[in-house]
Protein backbone atom coordinates (compact mmCIF):
# COMPACT_ATOMS: atom_id res chain seq x y z
CA UNK A 1 0.00 0.00 0.00
CA UNK A 2 1.28 3.47 -0.88
CA UNK A 3 2.28 5.62 2.12
CA UNK A 4 0.74 9.09 2.00
CA UNK A 5 2.74 12.13 3.10
CA UNK A 6 0.91 15.11 4.57
CA UNK A 7 2.61 18.43 3.83
CA UNK A 8 1.97 22.11 4.53
CA UNK A 9 2.72 24.47 1.65
CA UNK A 10 3.03 28.24 1.53
CA UNK A 11 -0.17 29.11 -0.37
CA UNK A 12 0.18 32.91 -0.44
CA UNK A 13 2.42 35.68 0.82
CA UNK A 14 1.12 37.67 3.81
CA UNK A 15 0.27 41.33 3.45
CA UNK A 16 1.29 42.53 6.90
CA UNK A 17 0.46 40.07 9.67
CA UNK A 18 0.33 36.43 8.48
CA UNK A 19 -2.71 34.20 8.96
CA UNK A 20 -3.60 30.53 8.67
CA UNK A 21 -4.96 31.29 5.18
CA UNK A 22 -1.36 31.71 3.96
CA UNK A 23 -0.86 27.94 4.35
CA UNK A 24 -2.37 24.88 2.67
CA UNK A 25 -2.39 21.23 3.82
CA UNK A 26 -1.99 18.61 1.05
CA UNK A 27 -1.40 14.87 0.78
CA UNK A 28 0.99 13.29 -1.71
CA UNK A 29 2.22 9.71 -2.09
CA UNK A 30 5.72 8.91 -0.83
CA UNK A 31 7.80 7.98 -3.92
CA UNK A 32 9.82 4.79 -4.19
CA UNK A 33 13.44 5.29 -3.11
CA UNK A 34 16.18 5.69 -5.70
CA UNK A 35 19.77 4.58 -5.12
CA UNK A 36 21.43 6.79 -2.47
CA UNK A 37 18.14 8.05 -1.05
CA UNK A 38 16.76 7.76 2.49
CA UNK A 39 13.17 7.89 3.75
CA UNK A 40 12.76 9.64 7.11
CA UNK A 41 9.64 9.71 9.29
CA UNK A 42 9.80 13.13 10.91
CA UNK A 43 9.03 13.02 14.64
CA UNK A 44 9.30 16.73 15.50
CA UNK A 45 9.15 19.93 13.45
CA UNK A 46 10.87 23.10 14.63
CA UNK A 47 9.02 26.42 14.34
CA UNK A 48 11.25 29.50 14.35
CA UNK A 49 10.84 33.27 13.88
CA UNK A 50 13.12 33.32 10.81
CA UNK A 51 10.35 31.58 8.87
CA UNK A 52 8.31 34.78 8.93
CA UNK A 53 10.96 36.63 6.91
CA UNK A 54 11.15 33.80 4.39
CA UNK A 55 7.42 34.16 3.68
CA UNK A 56 8.06 37.60 2.13
CA UNK A 57 9.21 38.05 -1.44
CA UNK A 58 11.80 40.64 -0.51
CA UNK A 59 15.57 41.06 -0.29
CA UNK A 60 17.01 39.34 2.77
CA UNK A 61 19.92 37.14 3.81
CA UNK A 62 18.20 34.07 2.31
CA UNK A 63 15.99 33.28 -0.66
CA UNK A 64 12.23 33.64 -0.11
CA UNK A 65 10.18 30.53 0.59
CA UNK A 66 8.72 29.51 -2.82
CA UNK A 67 4.94 29.51 -3.17
CA UNK A 68 3.20 26.13 -3.43
CA UNK A 69 6.24 24.40 -1.93
CA UNK A 70 6.69 22.67 1.43
CA UNK A 71 7.45 25.25 4.13
CA UNK A 72 11.07 25.24 5.22
CA UNK A 73 11.86 23.95 8.70
CA UNK A 74 14.20 21.87 10.80
CA UNK A 75 13.14 18.35 11.74
CA UNK A 76 14.27 15.34 13.73
CA UNK A 77 13.11 11.85 12.96
CA UNK A 78 13.91 8.23 12.26
CA UNK A 79 15.12 6.53 9.11
CA UNK A 80 12.44 4.02 8.05
CA UNK A 81 14.00 2.90 4.76
CA UNK A 82 17.43 3.43 3.22
CA UNK A 83 19.17 2.83 -0.06
CA UNK A 84 22.28 4.58 1.22
CA UNK A 85 25.24 2.80 2.82
CA UNK A 86 25.70 5.56 5.44
CA UNK A 87 22.21 5.23 6.93
CA UNK A 88 20.08 2.34 8.07
CA UNK A 89 16.54 1.91 9.37
CA UNK A 90 16.31 3.02 12.99
CA UNK A 91 18.94 5.78 12.77
CA UNK A 92 17.84 8.99 14.49
CA UNK A 93 18.58 11.99 12.30
CA UNK A 94 18.29 15.77 12.17
CA UNK A 95 17.87 17.80 8.98
CA UNK A 96 15.80 20.42 7.19
CA UNK A 97 12.83 18.15 6.52
CA UNK A 98 10.25 20.94 6.29
CA UNK A 99 6.59 21.02 7.33
CA UNK A 100 5.78 17.43 6.39
CA UNK A 101 5.50 13.99 7.94
CA UNK A 102 7.96 12.19 5.64
CA UNK A 103 11.17 13.24 3.93
CA UNK A 104 12.81 11.58 0.94
CA UNK A 105 16.34 12.89 0.49
CA UNK A 106 19.55 12.09 -1.37
CA UNK A 107 21.73 11.36 1.65
CA UNK A 108 24.91 11.57 -0.43
CA UNK A 109 24.59 15.37 -0.24
CA UNK A 110 26.98 16.49 2.48
CA UNK A 111 25.29 17.71 5.65
CA UNK A 112 21.72 17.15 4.48
CA UNK A 113 21.16 14.57 7.25
CA UNK A 114 23.08 14.16 10.49
CA UNK A 115 22.87 11.16 12.78
CA UNK A 116 22.29 12.02 16.43
CA UNK A 117 22.77 10.07 19.65
CA UNK A 118 19.71 10.02 21.91
CA UNK A 119 21.36 8.05 24.74
CA UNK A 120 21.70 11.10 27.00
CA UNK A 121 20.01 13.85 24.95
CA UNK A 122 16.31 13.65 23.97
CA UNK A 123 15.62 13.68 20.22
CA UNK A 124 13.60 16.90 20.41
CA UNK A 125 16.51 18.77 22.05
CA UNK A 126 18.42 18.59 18.77
CA UNK A 127 15.96 21.20 17.45
CA UNK A 128 16.43 23.48 20.44
CA UNK A 129 19.05 23.49 23.17
CA UNK A 130 21.45 21.25 21.21
CA UNK A 131 20.43 22.56 17.79
CA UNK A 132 20.20 25.75 15.78
CA UNK A 133 18.67 27.90 18.58
CA UNK A 134 21.33 26.84 21.09
CA UNK A 135 24.17 27.45 18.63
CA UNK A 136 22.61 30.82 17.69
CA UNK A 137 22.69 31.89 21.33
CA UNK A 138 26.21 30.53 21.77
CA UNK A 139 27.59 32.37 18.73
CA UNK A 140 26.05 35.75 19.55
CA UNK A 141 27.21 35.56 23.15
CA UNK A 142 30.66 34.01 22.75
CA UNK A 143 31.81 35.46 19.44
CA UNK A 144 30.19 38.92 19.45
CA UNK A 145 29.39 39.93 23.04
CA UNK A 146 32.39 37.97 24.39
CA UNK A 147 31.53 38.70 28.03
CA UNK A 148 33.93 38.79 30.93
CA UNK A 149 33.07 37.57 34.43
CA UNK A 150 31.31 40.29 36.39
CA UNK A 151 29.82 42.03 33.34
CA UNK A 152 26.09 42.53 32.85
CA UNK A 153 24.40 40.87 29.88
CA UNK A 154 20.79 41.66 28.89
CA UNK A 155 18.71 39.30 26.73
CA UNK A 156 15.42 40.13 25.01
CA UNK A 157 12.86 37.37 24.34
CA UNK A 158 14.53 35.68 27.31
CA UNK A 159 11.92 32.92 27.65
CA UNK A 160 12.45 31.72 24.06
CA UNK A 161 14.75 28.92 22.97
CA UNK A 162 17.55 31.28 21.89
CA UNK A 163 17.21 33.75 24.75
CA UNK A 164 17.16 31.03 27.38
CA UNK A 165 20.38 29.60 25.97
CA UNK A 166 22.12 32.99 25.96
CA UNK A 167 21.28 33.65 29.59
CA UNK A 168 22.44 30.28 30.87
CA UNK A 169 25.66 30.39 28.86
CA UNK A 170 26.34 33.89 30.23
CA UNK A 171 25.80 32.66 33.80
CA UNK A 172 28.32 29.86 33.17
CA UNK A 173 30.79 32.64 32.28
CA UNK A 174 30.19 34.51 35.55
CA UNK A 175 27.97 37.33 34.29
CA UNK A 176 25.00 39.10 35.81
CA UNK A 177 22.15 38.23 33.44
CA UNK A 178 18.93 40.21 33.02
CA UNK A 179 16.13 39.06 30.74
CA UNK A 180 13.17 40.76 29.11
CA UNK A 181 9.99 38.72 28.60
CA UNK A 182 6.25 39.25 28.23
CA UNK A 183 4.21 38.72 31.39
CA UNK A 184 4.90 37.95 35.07
CA UNK A 185 4.62 34.18 34.59
CA UNK A 186 7.34 34.08 31.95
CA UNK A 187 9.57 36.37 34.01
CA UNK A 188 9.17 34.18 37.10
CA UNK A 189 10.17 31.11 35.07
CA UNK A 190 13.14 32.89 33.46
CA UNK A 191 14.50 33.61 36.94
CA UNK A 192 13.30 30.51 38.80
CA UNK A 193 13.97 27.84 36.14
CA UNK A 194 16.63 29.28 33.85
CA UNK A 195 18.66 30.99 36.58
CA UNK A 196 18.67 34.60 35.34
CA UNK A 197 19.43 37.19 38.02
CA UNK A 198 16.41 39.31 37.07
CA UNK A 199 13.73 39.53 34.39
CA UNK A 200 11.74 42.59 33.32
CA UNK A 201 8.15 42.25 32.11
CA UNK A 202 8.22 44.60 29.12
CA UNK A 203 4.41 44.55 28.97
CA UNK A 204 4.36 46.34 32.33
CA UNK A 205 6.53 49.15 30.90
CA UNK A 206 4.72 50.52 27.82
CA UNK A 207 6.93 53.58 27.30
CA UNK A 208 10.65 54.26 26.95
CA UNK A 209 10.99 56.16 30.23
CA UNK A 210 9.38 53.38 32.28
CA UNK A 211 11.36 50.59 30.61
CA UNK A 212 14.61 52.52 30.96
CA UNK A 213 13.93 52.99 34.68
CA UNK A 214 13.30 49.25 35.09
CA UNK A 215 16.58 48.47 33.31
CA UNK A 216 18.44 50.91 35.56
CA UNK A 217 17.12 49.09 38.65
CA UNK A 218 17.95 45.63 37.25
CA UNK A 219 21.36 46.70 35.88
CA UNK A 220 22.86 49.01 38.53
CA UNK A 221 26.30 48.79 36.89
CA UNK A 222 24.97 49.47 33.40
CA UNK A 223 24.83 47.04 30.47
CA UNK A 224 27.95 45.57 28.87
CA UNK A 225 26.37 43.14 26.42
CA UNK A 226 22.95 42.85 24.83
CA UNK A 227 21.52 39.97 22.78
CA UNK A 228 18.88 41.46 20.48
CA UNK A 229 15.85 39.46 19.36
CA UNK A 230 13.21 42.20 19.23
CA UNK A 231 14.27 45.74 18.26
CA UNK A 232 12.11 48.84 18.63
CA UNK A 233 11.62 50.47 22.01
CA UNK A 234 13.45 47.69 23.86
CA UNK A 235 16.62 48.41 21.88
CA UNK A 236 16.26 52.14 22.59
CA UNK A 237 15.91 51.50 26.33
CA UNK A 238 18.93 49.17 26.42
CA UNK A 239 21.08 51.70 24.57
CA UNK A 240 20.22 54.37 27.14
CA UNK A 241 21.65 52.12 29.89
CA UNK A 242 24.64 50.75 27.95
CA UNK A 243 28.21 51.26 29.12
CA UNK A 244 31.17 52.46 27.11
CA UNK A 245 32.52 49.71 24.83
CA UNK A 246 29.33 47.67 25.17
CA UNK A 247 28.50 45.07 22.52
CA UNK A 248 25.17 44.20 20.87
CA UNK A 249 24.60 40.95 18.96
CA UNK A 250 21.71 41.36 16.50
CA UNK A 251 19.95 38.02 16.09
CA UNK A 252 16.38 39.07 15.29
CA UNK A 253 14.16 42.14 14.97
CA UNK A 254 10.73 40.66 15.49
CA UNK A 255 9.23 44.12 16.03
CA UNK A 256 9.58 44.68 12.28
CA UNK A 257 8.72 41.25 10.87
CA UNK A 258 5.37 42.40 9.48
CA UNK A 259 6.89 45.34 7.63
CA UNK A 260 6.69 48.04 10.30
CA UNK A 261 9.52 50.59 10.38
CA UNK A 262 11.75 50.26 13.46
CA UNK A 263 13.59 53.56 13.86
CA UNK A 264 16.36 54.00 16.45
CA UNK A 265 15.72 56.85 18.89
CA UNK A 266 19.31 57.69 19.88
CA UNK A 267 21.82 56.43 17.29
CA UNK A 268 24.37 58.97 18.58
CA UNK A 269 24.86 56.68 21.59
CA UNK A 270 26.70 54.25 19.29
CA UNK A 271 29.42 56.87 18.89
CA UNK A 272 29.30 58.32 22.40
CA UNK A 273 29.66 54.87 23.98
CA UNK A 274 31.96 53.45 21.27
CA UNK A 275 29.55 50.54 20.93
CA UNK A 276 30.02 47.47 18.75
CA UNK A 277 26.86 46.39 16.91
CA UNK A 278 26.98 43.24 14.80
CA UNK A 279 24.29 41.25 13.05
CA UNK A 280 24.81 37.56 12.33
CA UNK A 281 23.25 34.50 10.70
CA UNK A 282 24.37 31.35 12.47
CA UNK A 283 24.29 29.18 9.34
CA UNK A 284 27.14 31.30 7.94
CA UNK A 285 29.42 30.18 10.79
CA UNK A 286 29.36 26.39 10.50
CA UNK A 287 33.01 26.24 11.60
CA UNK A 288 31.99 26.97 15.22
CA UNK A 289 29.12 24.49 15.43
CA UNK A 290 31.23 21.55 16.74
CA UNK A 291 32.63 23.70 19.57
CA UNK A 292 29.21 25.13 20.42
CA UNK A 293 27.42 21.78 20.29
CA UNK A 294 30.06 20.16 22.48
CA UNK A 295 29.44 22.70 25.26
CA UNK A 296 25.66 22.69 24.84
CA UNK A 297 25.43 18.90 24.62
CA UNK A 298 27.56 18.44 27.74
CA UNK A 299 25.46 20.94 29.71
CA UNK A 300 22.18 19.29 28.64
CA UNK A 301 23.41 15.71 29.19
CA UNK A 302 24.62 16.56 32.71
CA UNK A 303 21.42 18.41 33.64
CA UNK A 304 23.15 21.80 33.99
CA UNK A 305 21.21 23.40 31.13
CA UNK A 306 17.45 23.86 31.56
CA UNK A 307 15.08 24.22 28.65
CA UNK A 308 11.36 24.19 28.01
CA UNK A 309 9.39 23.01 25.02
CA UNK A 310 5.96 24.12 23.87
CA UNK A 311 4.60 21.25 21.76
CA UNK A 312 1.69 21.40 19.31
CA UNK A 313 0.16 18.07 18.34
CA UNK A 314 0.01 17.04 14.69
CA UNK A 315 1.05 18.65 11.43
CA UNK A 316 -2.30 20.42 10.97
CA UNK A 317 -1.59 22.41 14.15
CA UNK A 318 1.62 23.91 12.74
CA UNK A 319 0.19 27.15 11.21
CA UNK A 320 -1.61 28.24 14.39
CA UNK A 321 1.39 27.27 16.52
CA UNK A 322 3.63 29.35 14.24
CA UNK A 323 1.33 32.38 14.47
CA UNK A 324 1.32 31.97 18.26
CA UNK A 325 5.13 31.88 18.28
CA UNK A 326 5.23 35.26 16.49
CA UNK A 327 2.99 36.68 19.23
CA UNK A 328 5.08 35.21 22.05
CA UNK A 329 2.56 32.61 23.19
CA UNK A 330 5.21 29.89 23.54
CA UNK A 331 7.64 29.32 26.40
CA UNK A 332 10.97 27.93 25.26
CA UNK A 333 11.27 25.98 22.02
CA UNK A 334 8.15 25.76 19.85
CA UNK A 335 7.80 22.29 18.34
CA UNK A 336 5.19 20.31 16.47
CA UNK A 337 4.97 16.60 17.35
CA UNK A 338 4.35 14.61 14.18
CA UNK A 339 4.09 11.04 15.53
Binned at pLDDT 50, 70 and 90, residue 256 comes out as: confident
CB 179 within 8 A of CB 202: no
Domain that holds residue 16: 4-127+307-337
117 Cβ contact list (under 8 Å, min separation 6): 92
260 and 149 in a common domain: yes
Q: How many H helices and E strands in the chain?
A: 9, 15
Is 289 a domain residue? no
β-bridge partners, 78: 41, 92
**224 and 143 belong to one structural domain:** yes
pLDDT single digits (tens) 169-192: 999 999 999 999 999 999 999 999
Q: Residue 218 is part of a domain; what is its CATH number?
A: 3.40.50.720
Count of domains forming the chain? 2
Contact 199, 180 (CB under 8 A): yes
What pLDDT is stored for residue 277 in this prediction? 97
Q: In what order do the strands lie in the sheet with 198-201?
A: 198-201, 176-181, 152-155, 223-228, 242-250, 276-279
pLDDT digits (tens, 9 = 90+) for 294-319: 999 999 999 999 999 999 999 999 99
- Asked if residue 13 and residue 123 are part of one domain, the reply reads yes
Determine, yes or no, domain membership for 212: yes
Q: What is the pLDDT of residue 129?
A: 96
- Residue 26's SS3 state is strand
CATH number at residue 105: 3.90.180.10
Residue 311: inside a domain: yes
Residue 300: inside a domain, yes or no? no
Q: Mark whether 68 and 171 lie in a shared domain.
A: no
Residue 187 and residue 168: Cα distance in Å, rounded?
15
Render pLDDT for 12-59 as a digit per residue (tens, 0 to 9): 999 889 999 999 999 999 999 999 999 999 999 999 999 998 999 877
Q: What is the pTM of this model?
A: 0.91
pLDDT (average), residues 59-67 = 83
Say yes or no: 122 and 201 in one domain.
Answer: no
Whether residue 314 is contained in a domain is answered as yes
Confidence bin at 90 (pLDDT 50/70/90):
very high
pLDDT tier at 143 (50, 70, 90 boundaries)?
very high
pLDDT average, residue stretch 226-255: 94
Is residue 285 over pLDDT 80?
yes
Task: Tell how far CA 163 is from the center of its chain.
Answer: 8
Amino acid sequence: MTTMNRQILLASRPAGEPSADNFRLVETPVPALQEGQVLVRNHFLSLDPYMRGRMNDSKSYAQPQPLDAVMIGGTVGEVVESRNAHFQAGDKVVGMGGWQEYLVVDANQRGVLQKVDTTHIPLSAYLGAVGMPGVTGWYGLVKIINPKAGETVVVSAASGAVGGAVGQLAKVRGCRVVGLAGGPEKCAQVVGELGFDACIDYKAHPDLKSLSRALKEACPDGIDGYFENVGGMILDAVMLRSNAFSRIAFCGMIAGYNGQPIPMANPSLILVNRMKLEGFIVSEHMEVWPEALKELGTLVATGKFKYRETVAQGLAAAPEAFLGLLKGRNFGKQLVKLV
